[in-house]
Every structure is written in structure tokens, then in C-alpha cells.
Structure 1
């Protein structure tokens, strides 16, 4: 039996096995296989029928057992698991967690489902609707069929808001400009419910604390015209007086060390502090009062509004200092319409220690493990500052790559101090519900690249992080300092430098300092959108002020050194744009474009190696070994005959990726992808012919394609990709497309071209 026949046999065997699901059904029961919905009506357009059919089918219950390629694997697993003898173990897990019990036809109520479909259709403006229901039996299986016959949909002729001069009616009328109910729009009960919620939200911004959507009604007058209605918005007569009253803020009381218990508040009333408009009850003096002035938006005499209410809660939560944040508003005992605001805050443990074992991958195609020991103090100076000291150690290896065997061992320490405010001589407090932060970092890392060299790196930075909104984030480091010093350079690496002098740049001492800024925009968390985007733009300005002050100019021989090391001077820009297009609930097309460029000047002839661009590897061009492509048409493998192949770097980078992602079954997802891109140098390099960027850059693009699996375990995503090149930029011009040379049946071709990538997380 050849492979093709074997596959057919296995498929039909699985199909026959799956069909045997019905033999496990209880006596007299039928397996429910689903329902069909047909929408009829001469006055309803095809587009309306299609939309209505989709909506009607989505509300039908029960849903049949899930299927894949016509099979029902979850039901099959449920049946094969049998009856577990105890409520634990493999069989119990298989039956209850993986398997799915049969959906029986006896669970289907045709008359009830028919009425649900009719009600939904009428609530969508098709008032003259008729519905029918029937069923079909086939052996031990049964399905349902529904026919919904509609008339012409009613549309909105006019929307009428309250006209009287009362405070609440005036407030409701003032919201009409942004009404969800539009003239000539189809009548929809769901739209009316959303409109009531929208009006309530607007009233909450105007001080009507006790109002809610149930105090509104929308009367429908269908007699005004043929297939048209007037919608009349009214405040119900039985609405209580409190709901029609605007409230202002009076007292603002904060309990920053609240614990759940009957006497927790009473026992602290002997320790009261006044700070601006706040009353702070903190007998243990845990926090400086000013942190609440920055976090809470309300001030005395402010009109209550839900935006400030939510922003205050968000800021308290985002401080990262409190385990629980609870808020209450009570009618004040003062004369007038006032509310007292109470904030009950339960702190997290001040100090903690955590041990982490991590699995990780990086852009250089290295996979490894890391052990971190973290000590934290969440209120280091009584201002909700977060002090974290970390010690780490790890090993990284290339599972498949040109540097397999050249493992990397690293250890070091890092200290971070985060203030929940912008530490600045100027008074800065960006608006929004996200706490702006100032972060200072000091770190040291020792990295040993086996058989090559060791590298000591000292890092420090001071900067600001703030979110303009849920979608926009800014990171501005006033200064970011990196000092790198090599050690233990091996004879093997020295030999490589003789053959390729540019490798000497890797082990040069580096001193890099200067400001960096990045802006991030993303709306990918908005699940209902069909198109979502991610963008990150970064600018790195190294040594610019120092170069300007000292007049450094390496081209004239005027190199300036600090601590006996020339400081780097360059500008680097990078843009990362991603687009996600949802095809369905379990499938999408994800695309990415990366464009970056760096320019060295003044005190530097070229950008430091650690700041240059690289391409290829698990998160880049997956059909090519990590950092092996470019620059330009240069072939690094051809000029390096030793086992070690150096990383190729460049001053310019262009990369394009697109990936089709779809759920296969359960936690397994699949992907088909195409990657393209390259890096280039700005200047000629005699050691790297063809590396300079030119107008022919499009002809030097590397292209690869492949497929992969993603195992989504919720706590991590394990990714496997198998890719192969379809365009090699280092081949002679005119021979770079290699589609005609693809031969999966050839062992030499597979060995040379197939690249397996093992990684954690999605590539983008």
C-alpha cells in the first residue's frame, strides 16, 4: 500500500469510527446535527435576508456538537473515554475536559425556537413576520429546519426627545445630537436599548449619579406612515427624585490601609490627616498624602461625573501598590445636593521575593532558559515607589542555525526604581486613567560566547513612561547609557577578524549615551473590529549633545574619548507597523512592515554593532538562518569557511511579513506565511561587496515561505515553523528566484534549504 492509499484508508477509517458515535446514544435518543434557517419574503432584499439569516442562526439553541472536516472528534473522545471509575485521573480528564457529551434531539424545543426567531425578527423591524418549524430524521440523527417569512422592514421617521423644561428632561434632550437612533434607519429594539444606555452614560457625566436606563422609555408609534415609526423618548413618571437630581462632591475620604472586617474603619478614626480637599485616615503613616492628590480626579464642589470616577479608580489600580480598590458614594449630611466619596484601599505586601524559571527565544534564533531572582519593595519611600532588584543567569543555544555549538552563557544583575509620577522640576501630570511613571535603571551583564569571546556590559537609564490612552503609549528616556568591554577573545575569533576585519567592531569597547523616544499605538485589544493595527516608532539619538559641545569629527581625525573610550554618535530610526484582518472568529491574516535606518556622524564612522540592524531567524525571515542574510547581495557564508558564521549587520533594514492564521483543533493553530526583506550598508565596504544600499535594493530582497503550528497553552504559545527560501539575494542577478529548484523529495535540497524554527510566542 503506497502513502496515498494509506492516507485514504486512515481517513475513511476515522470517518467510519466517528460515525459510530450514534451507537453510544441512550435508548430512543437521536443525535442532533444542527439547524437550517431559511428567510423568505418578496419585500425583503437579498442583502437583508443574508444578514437576518446569519443573526437568526447564531441565536438558535442548543448548538450541535463541534465538528472538523465533517467529523466530531470531541464527541468521539467523550465516547471512547467510557465511564471513569473516579473523579480524577486520565480518563476523567479526557472525558470532561477534552471530550464533549452528545447533543440530543430531545433537547430541541421546536416551538420555543420558532418563537425566539419570530421575536428577534419582529424586534428588528419586520413586524408582519410568520415562522415555521420542522425536523428531519436520518437513522439515529435528526436536524431542525426553520422558515421565517418577513414583510417590509419598518424604518424610523422621526425621533422625539422630551420637550418640557424640567432639569432631567433638559439634560436628556441635550444628549440628542449623538443619538444612535437615526432617521430612515431600520427599527431595532437592540438599538433602542443601546440608546437608553447611551443617554444614561451622558447623564452620569452631568451629575445624575442615581439615574439608570430603566428610568427611560421609548414609545413606538407605527401609525404615522406606511412602514415607518416615530420613536418618542420619555423619562418615566415614576422616576424617583434622587435620580432627577444633580449631585456635587463634598468630602473625599481615603483609607489607604483598609482591611476587610467590621472594625477596620472604626479603629482608625483616631488618626486623621487633611491634605487639600482630602481626608486621609492612615494611622500607620504608610503613604505620603500627595500620591492621592495625583491619583484622584475629584475635588470638592466638582459636579459628579463618571469619567473622573473611573479615571480615579484606574489610577489607583495602575499604581501597582494596592491589592483591592473599593469606592463608595454616599449622600452627604450637609445642606444641598452633595455626595461624599470614600476610597478603601488594601495594600499589597510591601516586600516580596520571587524565583522565576523562564524559557525564551530571541531574534538570533537562540533558545534557552533563564533563572531570575527578584526582590521587590512596593512602597520604598512612602510614595508608592516600586524598587526591584534582580539577579539572573541563563544559557542560550541554537537548536538549528549557523552557530550551533557556540552557546551563550550569561549572568548579571539589574536594579529598577519606578516612581508613580513624572519626577521633574516642572509640574507635569498627563491626563488619563493611567499613572505616568518615571523609571531609573542600573544593570550589569557578563556574557560568555563559547569559543569566541566574553563581553561585560554596564547599562543605565532614566526616563518617563506614560499612556495617553488605552491605545497610545510614550516612552522617553532622557538618557540611556551603555558601556561594553570585551574579554577573553579566542584565537578562533582573532582568525575570523583577519579574514573579515568588520568582525573586530563586535569586540571594540563601546560607550553609547543619549536620549531615546518611542511611541506605540495599538487597538488590537478591540476584539470586535475586523481591522486592527499596531505601530511602534523609535528614535535613538546617541552622543549628539556631546558631539556638538566637543566639535568631534572623526573624518578630520578629531575623535573625542571619555574614560579612554570614543563615544558613539549616531541617529537611528525604526518603524514597526502591523495589521490584523479578521476573516472569522478563529482565523485572520496578520501582516508586518519594518523600516529602519541609522546614520553615524561626528565622533563615529559607523553605528556600533549592537545598535545595527539584523535580519533572519525565528521572528524575522524564517526561511533563513538567524542574522545570516545581507547586507545587500553579500554572501557571508561564502567568505567564512570555519564552523562559526558571524552575524551580518547593516545600517538600513526593510522587512515584510504576512501570515494566515487559523485554528485547526482545540489548542492547535496553524499558519501559512511569506517573509521578505534585507539589510544594507550606507557606505561601501571592500570586505563586503554588494552590501551598499542602492536604487537596485528591490532586486536584493530575500523571500521565504513556509507553514507552522502554534500550541496555545494559555500561559504560553509554543510555535514551530518550517520554512524554505524562494529567493536568495546572494545568488547572481537573474538567478535569485529559486522556485523552480524546490524539490521536497530531495534529501540534499531539504538539508540545504528547509529551516526549522522553534520559538515561544507569535513572531508578530
Structure 2
């Protein structure tokens, strides 16, 4: 096998060398291939990476910042561009970038302007080239020089109201005496002042009304800076006047606005109206939302000073209503006496309230193939308050392989139904309306039932839940599971399965999880995403990071009541309710992921996650549905799903054996755009799971501080992603590098002695692994 790897590696090197020799195949005589572009600066405060965006012409893209694969693919095509094979190679490849002197000079000018804007007015950018055969390397050498410093700072504001507002907020100013004269910071201060005034009634204000005068002191690098406030002009030739501070006048609702029609109010198709608490509400034929829903989602009122933030919060509030498709808030200026006022029109477009969806999917459970189908119905305006009601039916079938003799069949059948209703507000007794409005939470009630018929057993699961969700500043999401009641019922267990796995008394996990069980838990989850509320599939686009935290506990209240009432325990030493024992545990999880953008085609992603689940009180182990497993598309990708651990335990072919109470995962992944919608990845994964207690059927699986780090599994591999914008298809191939299931050096370190049939795992998934 090692010879095979060496041969493959040698072939790859030869192909790359041959391809590199033909890199200039399509470069005309007298022209040069732009082989490389570099920027060098003599000041660490001016980073070359911040200047790359000003380069007008870059060399051909490299896969993983190393190989110009697409250029080589293009050069594999023949001279005849009419042949389909040559057309295909050119379509998926990249044509050579021919050096353009004028573009290079423009880049030089743009880089110089950018450095000057950073405050280094004396900076010089020198362009140099190095030619070798038909290739050219381009270098921009930036000599930064001394920065210009703001020596004095003055405000020229001939408006007493605005002057008072800005002086009250002066501590937040971005400008300071002694700072570098950075044009970017000056522009950011203009935007900060604009935002401040938009929050205080200045509806028509924009940053063009703010300007600067900068006077340099002769023979020095000092600048005297003055910030000016320009007077308001409706048109360029109009006379100057003071900026007006606006108040909200009337607020009107138009509930049947068609975004495809003219935006003029006179063209809106309405034929009826009502007044609710002083708010005119216009509609066509029938009002589909209760008036209170409309007014409760407003974040401003008649008589308030105009605040841009209140308008954006109103957009956000109406955006949470699934009964609406679009929201458009318009303001029309009106003069009432000597006061400038705004009439507001909240224009709403309703969504399609009812829908039916069908889904068909293939399933693969530890190599057993099957199929599943589901149908769901959704009503997004059940009680005319934008309540979302959903009901879903699902069925699945699988053929189970590897069963021993003694079972009546080898088929797995599953039926399930779930229903939920989501309210767009916080529902809880004895809570004030002001609190409900501030928290902006949604409330969800859900019911689920699942029927599983396997050769080994018949199992049914039923659950009911009550939860809340809300967001903060678009970047933070909270969820509280106020209560979640689950009931596990096993009316039938195969005699052979009971004899082989349960009655032997060696597997506490089997014994615990194949009994009727009640799980009553509550929990809280926190999620922060630095990119905000929008979902970005292509994580190469920007630097970002996310933090997740989850905590849940079960059985504590029931345990306290059981102890207080002194009820009798069952034969297994457990408290039970109506003869059904309940689970008791606490569980906490933490997850951190970070993406670092290298350039527009490459990024580096990191991930670390850990979790601990501790059974206590009324339980000896964690319910199977709450336990951890390792391996698979989102874990250590050198192992199949649920095929790793716990600890150094090699497994015996049972999913129940390879679960644990502690989990650790870490990954690093280099991501690169390839061609068209394809991306590539190189990754290294590490992690494992462990148990808290030492079980006889899982030797080597218990967590110990002096040993766990020796049991961390490591894998490496390659991945291919197909980015379809709305979702990503992912194909990953992982190889084991360190296998804790073996002690001998040869098998413990398969990276040294790889065996493809033993060490390789293939994964197909949707979305990024983290």
C-alpha cells in the first residue's frame, strides 16, 4: 500500500512539472505571463494585505495558494478552439493573465492614494518588474515615511441644537488630537455623527453635510483640523437653512400593498378601512391580521422624535411575522404650524399563508440503506396573528444487515408525526405588555410521536415541549426550553436480544436504555455569530467567528418531590412516577469556530467543541438520545459515524457500545475556491468520546486525566464542496492518522503505515462541518 502512495505522489509531481513547463503556451510573443504580484511595505502599521484590494491586475488563481491548477488545465487544451474537448478544458480552466503595463501603473497610483489616505502623505510607491523568459513578476515597494499628525481639532457648528448634541457625545468621537491624520477615520466620524443625528430627529440628514478643513503647518508633519457642519439645502441653488428636527405625526397601516405596482400612495389598491386606537388601517376585501398585532410591532408612536433605530427595529419586528412577505415604511414630510412632522405609512405585503411540502430521502444507518418520505402542512396565519402552525408525517424503511440468527425479520420500519405552533410574541401569564414588547421573543409549543419497529424491539417515543426564542442586535440568539417532556415506551423486546444484551448484566447502558423511561428536562442555549443574522454559505468571503453554549438539566424537580414525599423506589433503586422511572442528569456544551480570510479565494477555519453529560441521583447513565458519539461527517472524519471510542475501546459492532458522556472535537481546515461552484478543502481533525463511569462492556472507555490525551484520535483528508448558493453539498475523504484503539506503534500510528481498506472513511453531507 505504501508503494501505491509513493507511486501516486510521484505521478502527481510529474504532471505538475509538465504542466508548469507549458504555463506560457498561450502567451503571445512579445507579451508576458503575470506570474506573481507582491506588495512590500517598510512599516508594520501598513500591512500589505490591506493594500491588495487596490491591485488592478492579479496573477492566475492558485489552488490552496500553491498551484495554478486552472491555468494548467486551460493550457492542456489544443490550439483549435472549435473542438469540444478544447472548449471544455478552456471553460473549466483560466486563461493566462497577460501583463498590462497601464493596469500596473493604475495599481501603483491606487496604492499610493490608499497609503496617503492612511495619513502617510509623503509615501512613495515604486513599481519594479523581474522578467524570466515569458514570465514577469511584479513588485510594489511602498516607502511609507512619516505620518501626518492632527495637532489641533476644532468644531465649526453654527447650530446650537446639533452642537449641544455632539458635545454631549464627544467622548465617543473617533477624532483625537495627536492621532494620525487618517482619511478613513475622518469618514467614519462623519458616519458616526450622521447616525447620532438620525437618532435625534434629523430625518433628512446625511454625511455630505459634514466636511473638513485641514491646514498643514509649514515644514512639519502637523495638521490643524476643523470639522464643519454645512447648512441644509433642499436643492443646490436653494438658500441655506437650519437642519430640521422631525416628529412623527400620523401613523397609517396599508396591509395589501403590491410591490409590483407604483409606489405612489394613490395607486395602492384598497377599498376599506378601520380605526384602531387612533391608527387608520387600510385593507382590501378582508383584514388578515388583528389590529393589535400591527400596533404591538411598532417601535415608535405619534408625537415621538424621529429615530432611525426605532424604524429599523420596526422593520425587524414585522420581519418576524411569517404572515408577511415584505414590509416597507415610508415617511412623507408635512408642516404642522412651526414644527416639522412626518406622516408614516407602514405598507405590508402578505405572504402565502398555506403550503404543503413533500420530501423523499435516502437513509444510511451504519451502512444499512433505506428510504424515507414525509409530507407537511403549514399555516402561517392560523389565528390572524401570524401564528405558524405545522404538522408533519414521516415514514421510513431500512433493511438491516449483520443480524445473527434468531430474529423474526431483518426490516426496520418507522412512522412519526409532529406538530407545532409558533406565536410571534412572548406568551407567559402575569407578564406585562411592555416586557413582552422589549424581549421580542417567539413562543413555540410542540408535540411529537414516533413509532419504531425493529427485529430486536418495538419502541415508541412521545414528547411535548414549550420553548422561547429571541435575538439581540442580529448577532445573538437565545433559546429557553422551559419544559420538554419525553416518554420512552418499549412494549416488545425480542427474547434473543434480551438474552444476548440485557439479561447478561454486563451492560448498564443497554439495561438502562431498554426500559420505559420518562425524561423531563429544561435548558438554555446561546449562539453568537459575528457576521450577524444573515446566513453566509461561502465562509471564504470574510473573517468571522461563532460561539455556541448549551446547558440542560433533567429530573431535578421530580427528584426533589420524590424525596419530599418519600415515595418508594423500584427494584432497580429508582424513583418512578406511575411506575415509570425518570432520568436525571445535567449536560453542558461549548463550541467555538473561527474563519480567517487569507484572500478572495482562500480561508483557514478552526473549530473546537466539548461537552459533558453527568448522570446522578435517579440515574446511573445518560439516556441514549442524550449521549455523545464520535466519527462521521461533522466529527473526526477518519472514522465512520458512531465508530470512534469511547477512549481506546475498539468497539464490537454495536452503536450502543460506542457512546459516551464526554466529548472533545477540534479541527483545522484550509478552504480554497477551485473553479465554477466547486471548492476544495484540506483538513485535520482530532477528538474522541469518553464515559464518566467504568463499564465492563467498554474497556478503556472511562475518562482519566492522566490518560485521556493519549486517546485522542487524529485524522486528515481532502474535501470537495459544491456551492449552490442556497446550500452546499460536501464530499469528504478522511484517513486515520492516530488510532487510539491500538497500542502497537504500527497500528496506533496509521499515518506511518497507512492501509486504505482499514483507515479510509468517505462522508457525504450538506453544509460545512463547522
| Common fold: TM-score over 0.5 | yes
Residue 537 of structure 1: which of 530, 550, 563 is its match?
550
Quick one: distance in 2 between partners of 1:476 and 1:47? 46
1:273 match:
274
SS at match of 2:708: helix
Residue 13 of structure 2: which of 4, 11, 14 is its match?
11
Quick one: distance in 2 between partners of 1:224 and 1:395? 84
1:62 match:
57
Quick one: distance in 2 between partners of 1:223 and 1:174? 30
Whether the 8 Å CA contact 2:399–2:411 is kept in 1: the answer is yes
- TM-score norm. by structure 2 comes to 0.83
Residue 330 of structure 1: which of 329, 332, 338 is its match?
332
Quick one: distance in 1 between partners of 2:705 and 2:137? 63
Quick one: distance in 2 between partners of 1:243 and 1:211? 11
Quick one: distance in 2 between partners of 1:81 and 1:254? 65
Quick one: distance in 2 between partners of 1:439 and 1:360? 29
Residue 657 of structure 1: which of 630, 649, 666 is its match?
666
SS at match of 1:290: helix
Q: Give the C-alpha shift of residue 316 in structure 1.
A: 1.2
Whether the 8 Å CA contact 1:512–1:543 is kept in 2: the answer is no
Quick one: distance in 2 between partners of 1:306 and 1:266? 27
Whether the 8 Å CA contact 1:221–1:230 is kept in 2: the answer is yes
Q: How does 1:58-457 map to 2 (within 5 A)?
A: 58-68=53-63, 71-78=67-74, 80=77, 95-96=90-91, 98-106=92-100, 108-133=102-127, 135=129, 137-162=131-156, 164=158, 166-223=160-217, 226-237=220-231, 239-240=233-234, 244-260=243-259, 261-262=261-262, 270-276=271-277, 278-283=279-284, 284-335=286-337, 336-358=339-361, 370-394=372-396, 409-425=413-429, 426-427=431-432, 435-449=440-454, 451-457=455-461
SS at match of 2:460: strand
2:594 match:
580
SS at match of 2:22: helix
Q: Does 1:724 align with 2:736?
A: yes
Q: How does 1:46-57 map to 2 (within 5 A)?
A: 46-48=43-45, 51=46, 53-57=48-52
Cα distance change of structure 1 residues 270 and 531 upon mapping to structure 2, 3 Å threshold: closer
Q: Does 1:704 align with 2:717?
A: no
Cα distance change of structure 1 residues 593 and 437 upon mapping to structure 2, 3 Å threshold: same
Quick one: distance in 1 between partners of 2:753 and 2:88? 43
Unaligned runs of at least 5 residues, structure 1? 40-44, 638-642
Q: Does 1:554 align with 2:569?
A: yes
Q: How does 1:487-636 map to 2 (within 5 A)?
A: 487-494=491-498, 495-499=500-504, 500-502=506-508, 503-523=510-530, 532-542=545-555, 544-545=557-558, 548=561, 550-552=565-567, 554=569, 561-562=576-577, 564-580=578-594, 582=596, 584-585=598-599, 586-602=602-618, 604=619, 606-624=621-639, 626-627=641-642
Quick one: distance in 1 between partners of 2:466 and 2:281? 32
Cα distance change of structure 1 residues 507 and 182 upon mapping to structure 2, 3 Å threshold: same
Quick one: distance in 1 between partners of 2:124 and 2:712? 61
Cα distance change of structure 1 residues 25 and 406 upon mapping to structure 2, 3 Å threshold: farther
Whether the 8 Å CA contact 1:154–1:229 is kept in 2: the answer is yes
Cα distance change of structure 1 residues 256 and 82 upon mapping to structure 2, 3 Å threshold: farther
SS at match of 1:199: helix
Q: Give the C-alpha shift of residue 66 in structure 1.
A: 1.5
Quick one: distance in 2 between partners of 1:12 and 1:559? 68
Unaligned runs of at least 5 residues, structure 2? 235-239, 534-538
Q: Does 1:462 align with 2:476?
A: no
Q: Give the C-alpha shift of residue 220 in structure 1.
A: 0.8
Q: Give the C-alpha shift of residue 626 in structure 1.
A: 4.3
Whether the 8 Å CA contact 1:366–1:399 is kept in 2: the answer is yes
Cα distance change of structure 1 residues 115 and 140 upon mapping to structure 2, 3 Å threshold: same
